[in-house]
Structures are given as structure tokens and as C-alpha cells.
Structure 1
């Protein structure tokens, strides 16, 4: 299959939908032989204990990707998640596909398309694949 997506961005927030989307994105990347950029976007820096938990979470996702033969680039980024995902990271890493969950961790977001996802779908200058 021709590689139509060279660089895939997969933002995660710890929600089950973002983890499921990550797994689908990694499987797609393996099939297409694409680069994967795993990112967690936070509004502000928090204490070291929370950062350590995030690193452990990232490490478990990386182990999953490696187990199916996909290497990932991973990073925690600080800023507005909507703008980082839909604009800044696309430009920084030359992203041509974003794979993300439909909703995040918030109660209201679980009932509708999440506000970050909705913003990304409307504003990203690349293809967006939404998983449930």
C-alpha cells in the first residue's frame, strides 16, 4: 500500500478513547510505514509526581507500539491543546494525519464530541481520524 500519510500525530489525554485511538493509529502507522508522534498537551506545568505518572503512561504506550514493530516519538507539550494540536504541532512535525479520540476525560465531553476534538476537526490543515 502506498504511504499516503508519512507523519501521524496521536494526542492522548489518558481517557480510554484516546488510548483506543492511539492503538488504532499505531496499527495504521505500521501498515503505512509512517512516523508516529505521540503527544500529551497540558495547559500548564504541574508538580513532579504528576509528571512522573505521565512518563509512566507514555512508557506503557511506547511498549505497546514497540511490541507491534512501531517506533514512536513522544513528547509532553505545554500550551492550549486546541491550538497546539491543530496548528503548531502540524507545522513543527509536518503532520499529514491526526488520529485522536472523540471525547476526553470531562463529563460533558463524554456525552458529545469533545471540545478539543471539535476544534481540531474544524481547524486542522491536515486529515483528522476520530476514533470511538
Structure 2
């Protein structure tokens, strides 16, 4: 059984759909925060990248304004918390890289700091010409919305490209 090369079908309306040349997705972004939903999103992004010959960028954002009451006002502890977060994320990114290599998928990653996570992610999407996003429905943040996380909602509503939200 031979697999056919995936085709990109575009519909201008429900009566007019055509196959066009070019891959439907070349650069897949996975916003990654090590939450269970992010792991599921990476799995699906890996499948899509393998299927369509795309590459994956995993992007994490460490919030620079997060301060727990027990560390607030103690700069050394605040810096230590941020450094530990980056180290943990970096270790996870290395694991994602190994899994992508295992399946022959090109992979890169970036860890950024920002106080505006969704807005920073949207800027990244535009700047790096992301054409498909696979993200978890809720992150690890302490304040979660009932049905869908704030960052997921903001990115999905404002992204210039399609967003697939994984629960």
C-alpha cells in the first residue's frame, strides 16, 4: 500500500473546492508549557509535521511578572524561581527535540520571557511566518477559565493562521 502525497484543498465557498500546489502547512508552532494538554498537542503536531513534511517550533514563555506571596519582595528567590522555570522548560525542549529526530521531523525551540504571554505569542506567530498552530486547551497557570484557557482563547481568536486546540 503506497501513501499518496497529501494535497492542499482550498474552498472559496461550499460549491468551489480545488487542489492547489504547495503544502498546507510548512511551519507548525506548538506553544509549550509542559502541561498535560501541551504534551498531547506536541503528539498531534508531530503527526501533522511528519504527514505534511512540515517543521515544528516549540515556544515557551516564562511570565516575568509572576510573584508568589512567599517570594514577593525577595529578588534572589524571584530570580531563582525564573531560572528554575527556564531550566525545566529547556530540559523538556531537549526531550521534544529527541522525539522529533526519532521521526525525522525538523524541530527548533525558543524560550522567551514576557509579562503578556498571549500577545508575545501572537507577535512570534507573525514574525516567524507560522502557518499552523497546535496548542493545548489550558496551560499550567494558576488562574484557569472554566472551558478554555485565556492564552488559548486569545491566540485562537487573534491568530493570522489556523489554530487547532487539543484537550
TM-score, normalising length: structure 1: 0.89
Q: Greater CA radius of gyration, 1 or 2? A: 2
- Give me the whole-angstrom Cα distance separating, in 1, the residues matched to 2:43 and 2:145: 19
How many aligned positions are there? 131
* 1: CA distance, partners of 2:163 / 2:120: 14
CA shift for structure 1 position 111: 3.8
* Matching of residue 14 in structure 1 with residue 38 in structure 2: no
Q: Could you list the per-position Cα deviations for residues 15-72 of structure 1 after superposition, in whole angstroms to 9, with x for gaps in the alignment?
A: 0001110111111011111121111012229533332222111111111111111121
Deviations 1:47-105 (A, max 9, x none): 3333222211111111111111112110101222101222x111221011111001112
SS of equivalent residue, structure 1 residue 109: coil
Matched residue, 2:118: 82
Q: Cα distance, 1:109 vs. partner? A: 2.5
Given the alignment of the two structures, is residue 131 of structure 1 paired with residue 147 of structure 2, yes or no? no
Give secondary structure in 2 for the equivalent of 1:5: coil
3-state SS in 1 of match to 2:144: helix
Q: TM-score, normalised by structure 2?
A: 0.72
Gaps of 5+ in 2: 1-5, 8-22, 66-78
Residues 89 and 118 of structure 1: CA distance in aligned 2, closer, same or farther (over 3 Å): same
The answer to which structure has the higher helix fraction is: 1
C-alpha RMSD of the superposition? 1.8
